[in-house]
Structure 1
């Protein structure tokens, strides 16, 4: 084995140890999907009852990587596992907030329910003390929306493109 390979393996082991020490047992005892439904009725997003790791996020982790490790495959709002988690971001600041399942990510922009409001006020990124601009060098970074009306118009356009067919069918059937 070359010196470079030995260094790479040792660095990987060092980072794994740092992540395990940082995370500790924070993923234990989290609410199930069913328990998260009860929390939702009380206006509490699932992530607000998760144990937050003590100490600083290891420096080798980006904000999104730290969120992926801490959330351990669970949606920050509903605790659903097994589905692909999407990176949620604030359209006003362009900052990453957390990782959500497809259902919660779609609903998040259109909901004013207490659990969604609480999630926006204290998202997982804030809980971990990390900050990252949404996007990448390849596809560009999210530009903050200029105002609330602009953001709402974007949501209406997105909803219309997603549900326009369905709405049109219901409109025709009700006449």
Structure 2
């Protein structure tokens, strides 16, 4: 059976339109890396200066995909756009918090800087109202204690 390439193209167009409608300008006016450094000095993570999209997240997006679309390749802490972002998660609950550059992800568990404290209390996943478990119960996340 031949794949329906026309359907696939139409579905991609529909999903792109749904993503654009959901994001609706929320990627505009984000702080630059230099501006994010100044926010950090004030105890504010970069993501707290971002516009949160209104309305429901498109159904075709998983929580991680919604974070990827909304963060648009920018680190939630410093706005850096260098390299791939890594999935940051809480080591106590196993819940995904957001996407960070490797530098911020390495600093995050060891930093008591006000901007990191603010990030942990209101990460991008909380801002978007999404919840995603990192790993699996095999990793010890989501396991109930007896």
2:141 aligned residue (143, 159, 168):
143
How far 1:107 moved relative to its partner?
Answer: 0.3
Change (3 A) 1:142 1:38: farther
Change (3 A) 1:55 1:142: farther
1:14 and 2:1 matched: no
Q: Deviations over 1:102-135 (max 9, x none)?
A: 0000000011110000000000001011111012
Q: Secondary structure at the match of 2:100?
A: strand
Runs of at least 5 residues in structure 2 that lack an aligned partner in the other structure: none
How far 1:141 moved relative to its partner?
Answer: 5.2
- Determine if contact 1:90/1:96 at 8 Å carries over to the other structure: yes
Runs of at least 5 residues in structure 1 that lack an aligned partner in the other structure: 147-175
1:127 and 2:127 matched: yes
Q: Whose helix fraction is larger, Structure 1's or Structure 2's?
A: 1
TM-score by length of 2: 0.91
Q: How many residues align?
A: 143
Which protein, 1 or 2, shows the higher relative CO under an 8 Å CA cutoff with sep ≥ 6? Answer: 2
| Bigger radius of gyration | 1
> Who is 1:76 aligned against?
76
Q: Secondary structure at the match of 1:135?
A: coil
TM-score by length of 1: 0.76
Equivalents in 1 of 2:20, 2:106: separation in Å? 32
